Amino acid sequence: MNVSPKFFGASAPVAYGGKDAKSPLAFRWYDKDRVVRGRRLEDHLRFAVCYWHSFCWPGGDPFGGETFLRPWHRGTDMMALARAKADIAFELFRLLDVPFFTFHDVDVAPEGASLAESVANLNAIADLFEQKMASSKVRLLWGTANLFTHRRYMAGAATNPDPDIFTYAAGQVRAALEVTHRLGGQNYVLWGGREGYETLLNTDIKRELDQLGRFVSLVVEHKHKIGFKGPILIEPKPKEPTKHQYDFDVATCYGFLQRYDLLKDVKLNIEQNHAILAGHSFQHEIALAQALGVFGSLDINRGDDLLGWDTDQFAMNVPELALAFHDILKAGGFTTGGLNFDAKIRRQSIDPDDLIHAHVGSMDACARAFLAAADMLDAEALTMPIAERYAGWADAEGRAILAGQRSLADLANRALAPGFDPQPRSGRQEYLESLVNRYV
Ligand code: XUL
Ligand code: CO
């Protein structure tokens, strides 16, 4: 097996060339050093390349196998292949000049014959990552453990009917959390891959929720024990792989965190395609997470409106992204979170440089949307009409109602007074929609 250092056609990092750049591989909007609202674009957007879609997925679908034929998927020395894959991954991070990456344990290191062997493999690759990170500027946005691919997890990890599977999952998460900590990870993610059910004929929902609550609590306790400062992020998704997932959407996750007293340590990693599958918009999930104080990070991608599954395409829709970023920026921007490309190229995109084009195109779409969002905020284009719409609540009577200084009878008596006749006002939706279009 020989992975040529010239795997990609490009060899110089993609540079900002402005809107009229001639090169097909240039940033047209993502000028990483441009300062917007007091921060460089790179520090606002905090882009991360994910390992699993970009370097592990071979291009298969339910009807056909691998199309990409990656050189690091051919051979028998699994650790050598993992090292070759890491070389290519860090080469892509360099070419894209991204500040972060993300991975699952099994993306980066082969599973061994026992958990002990898997953990040793993971730690050996983490040693390699430490060296590579020391000689590059890329950092770890988050790490996670894959608790859904192996057949042992077919009936769930934390929610498995067998406590020994729960225990195995705990062993995997301890190792992944500690490696994330060692590599300076800013968050740790728990996506409930198979924490759900296929049929209630064999499922005890209350028991499984209690198991999941216990599992997340154990992770939080361990995070404090080892001094990991970042938040634990759970990732809402309503279905796929199971028919019903316990972390259905933001509202469901909030209820879960509240019930198991986890709101202090756990926030949410929100993904566009998952929002769509739950019957919400991306902006809805972000706005609700902000309102409930559980917003953490974003898996940035795009579902297909005509397909009912998680297509994980690269996000390219500027108006949609602009509204999402508007709400994030309004609340002060990312803290530990960022924009993780949980996105995969289509299986016909078999040229190595398709990986570069996909990321560059989506980074540009995000940057363009972000600049539009910042302009909307600066002009108070959406915040002012909303403030005006609710202005009555800032008056003395509105404040008194919310402060609990009016009873139902007080309100009724006021409403019954002669001449009390409040009038409805326009919601001005079309005006607001056309206003947004001035910016995007
Ligand atoms: C699956 C998904 C995961 C998580 C990490 O739909 O989004 O890749 O982001 O486990
Ligand atoms: Co995701």
- Residue 6: pLDDT band (50, 70, 90) is confident
Whose Cα sits closest to atom 3 in ligand 1?
Answer: 191
Determine whether the shortest distance from the Cβ of 344 to ligand 1 is under 6 A: no
Determine whether the shortest distance from the Cβ of 312 to ligand 1 is under 6 A: no
**What rounded mean pLDDT belongs to the chain?**
97
With the most atoms of ligand 1 within 8 angstroms of its CB, the residue from 247, 342, 344 to mutate is 342
Q: 348-389: per-residue pLDDT in tens? A: 999 999 999 999 999 999 999 999 999 999 999 999 999 999
Backbone angles phi, psi at 27, to 5 degrees: -80, 130
Residue 331 has pLDDT above 80, yes or no: yes
Residue 17 has pLDDT above 50, yes or no: yes
How far from 428 is each of 375, 389, 440, CA to CA, in Å?
21, 10, 19
Determine whether the shortest distance from the Cβ of 97 to ligand 1 is under 6 A: no
* Displacement of CA 31 from its chain's centroid (Å): 23
Residue 146 has pLDDT above 50, yes or no: yes
- Residue 398: pLDDT band (50, 70, 90) is very high
Residue from 7, 169, 163, 13 nearest 93 by CA: 13
Nearest atom in ligand 1 to the alpha carbon of residue 104 is 10
pLDDT of residue 305: 85
Q: Which residues contact 272 (CB under 8 A, 6 or more apart)?
A: 282, 298, 299, 300, 301, 302, 303, 315, 320, 324
* Displacement of CA 209 from its chain's centroid (Å): 23
Strands 35-36 and 266-271: unpaired
- Residue 156: pLDDT band (50, 70, 90) is very high
Q: What share of the chain is helix, strand, coil (3-state, %, to 5)?
A: 45, 10, 40
Quick one: tokens of 316?
């390219």
pLDDT of residue 5: 59
104 is catalytic: yes
34-350+371-378 folds as TIM Barrel (3.20.20)
Q: Report how far ligand 2's centroid is from the alpha carbon of 273 (Å).
A: 9
Determine whether the shortest distance from the Cβ of 178 to ligand 1 is under 6 A: no
- Per-residue burial over 360-396, b if 16 or more Cβ lie within 10 Å, else e, is bebbbbbbbbbbbbbbbbeeebbeeeeeeeeeeeeee
Q: 118-128: per-residue pLDDT in tens? A: 999 999 999 99
Question: Angle at Cα 420 formed by Cα 416 and Cα 421, nearest 5°?
Answer: 120
Q: How far apart are CA 66 and CA 46, in angstroms?
A: 31
Determine whether the shortest distance from the Cβ of 188 to ligand 1 is under 6 A: no
- Residue 1: pLDDT band (50, 70, 90) is very low
Residue from 240, 288, 284 nearest 267 by CA: 288
Annotated binding site: 235, 271, 274, 299, 310, 312, 342
Annotated binding site for Mg(2+): 235, 271, 274, 299, 310, 312, 342
Q: How far apart are CA 179 and CA 173, in angstroms?
A: 10
How far from 57 is each of 70, 277, 345, CA to CA, in Å?
10, 22, 10
Q: How far apart are CA 108 and CA 354, in angstroms?
A: 21
Q: Report how far ligand 1's centroid is from the alpha carbon of 104 (Å).
A: 9
How far from 298 is each of 133, 158, 275, 385, CA to CA, in Å?
23, 24, 11, 27
Domain boundaries, the chain: 34-350+371-378, 384-439
- Residue 142: pLDDT band (50, 70, 90) is very high
With the most atoms of ligand 1 within 8 angstroms of its CB, the residue from 104, 235, 301, 302 to mutate is 235
Average pLDDT over residues 293-311: 95
